[in-house]
Structure 1
Amino acid sequence: MNMKNVGKNIRRLRQKKGWTLVQIANKVQVSVPAFSKIETGPTDINMSRLKQLAEIFEVSIMDILYDVGENPQEGLIQETNELKKQILEKDATVNMLQKKLIDLYEEVSKKSAAQ
Structure 2
Amino acid sequence: MNVNEKIRFLREARGWSQEEMAERVGLSVHGYSKIERGETQLNISRLRQICEVLNYDMLELMTLGEKNVIYFQESGNNHSINIINPTSENLVSEIAQLKQTISHQAEIIEMQKAQIETLNALIASMKSA
- TMscore range, shorter length: 0.5 to 0.7
> Is the Cα contact below 8 Å between 1:62 and 1:71 reproduced in 2?
no
RMSD: 2.1
- Opposite residue 61 of structure 1, the aligned amino acid is M
In the alignment of these two chains, the number of paired residues is: 70
Q: If the length of structure 1 is used for normalisation, what is the TM-score?
A: 0.54
Q: Where does residue 38 of structure 1 map in the other structure?
A: 35
- For residue 61 of structure 2, the aligned residue among 49, 64, 71 is 64
1:35-94 residue CA offsets vs partner (Å, 9 max, x unmatched): 11100101001111111111111111012222325477xxxxxxxxxxxxxxxxxxxxxx
Q: Where does residue 113 of structure 2 map in the other structure?
A: none
Q: How far apart, CA to CA, are the structure 2 residues paired with 1:14 and 1:63? A: 15
SS state at 2:40 partner = coil
Q: Which has the higher contact order (CA 8 A, sep 6+)?
A: 1
> Is the Cα contact below 8 Å between 1:7 and 1:39 reproduced in 2?
yes
Task: Name the structure with the higher helix share.
Answer: 1
Q: How far apart, CA to CA, are the structure 2 residues paired with 1:15 and 1:71? A: 24
Q: Where does residue 4 of structure 2 map in the other structure?
A: 7
Task: Name the structure with the higher strand share.
Answer: 2
Aligned-residue sequence identity (percent) comes to 36
Question: Any runs of at least 4 consecutive aligned residues in structure 1 with deviations exceeding 2 A, and if so which?
Answer: 66-72
> Mind listing any 5+ residue stretches in structure 2 that lack a counterpart?
70-129
> Mind listing any 5+ residue stretches in structure 1 that lack a counterpart?
73-115
Q: Where does residue 53 of structure 1 map in the other structure?
A: 50
Q: How far apart, CA to CA, are the structure 1 residues paired with 2:14 and 2:7? A: 11
